[in-house]
């Protein structure tokens, strides 16, 4: 298990499914697509429409492409 990234700040959060763990399963707000007080991810940084995230439950780090406002072609 990785330690939390030094850039991890509870003030910068995102609500995205973690590709490594399934900590949102059974949570009614999450399953309804609403914002939950317990199942958020640290937003470490972003590059355009790409979010660099870390899960506080399993500490997995990954990049999530939102495609929001992006004109980038898929890689």
What SS3 state is found at 29? helix
Reported as type and span, the H/E element at residue 31 is helix 28-31
Residues in the chain where the model's pLDDT stays below 70: 1, 70-75
Q: Report pLDDT for 73.
A: 58
Q: Report pLDDT for 62.
A: 96
What residue ranges do the domains of the chain occupy?
A: 13-65
Long-range contacts of 31-36 (CB under 8 A, 24+ apart): none
Q: How far separated are the first and last CA of the chain, in Å rounded?
A: 28
Rounded Cα gap, residues 26 and 9, in angstroms: 26
């Amino acid at each position: 298990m990785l330690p939390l990234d030094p850039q991890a700040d509870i003030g910068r959060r995102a609500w995205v499914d973690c590709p490594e763990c399934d900590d949102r399963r059974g949570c009614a707000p999450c399953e309804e697509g609403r914002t939950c007080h317990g199942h958020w991810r640290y937003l470490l940084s972003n590059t355009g429409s790409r979010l660099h995230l870390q899960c506080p439950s399993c500490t997995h780090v990954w990049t999530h492409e939102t495609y929001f406002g992006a004109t980038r072609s898929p890689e």
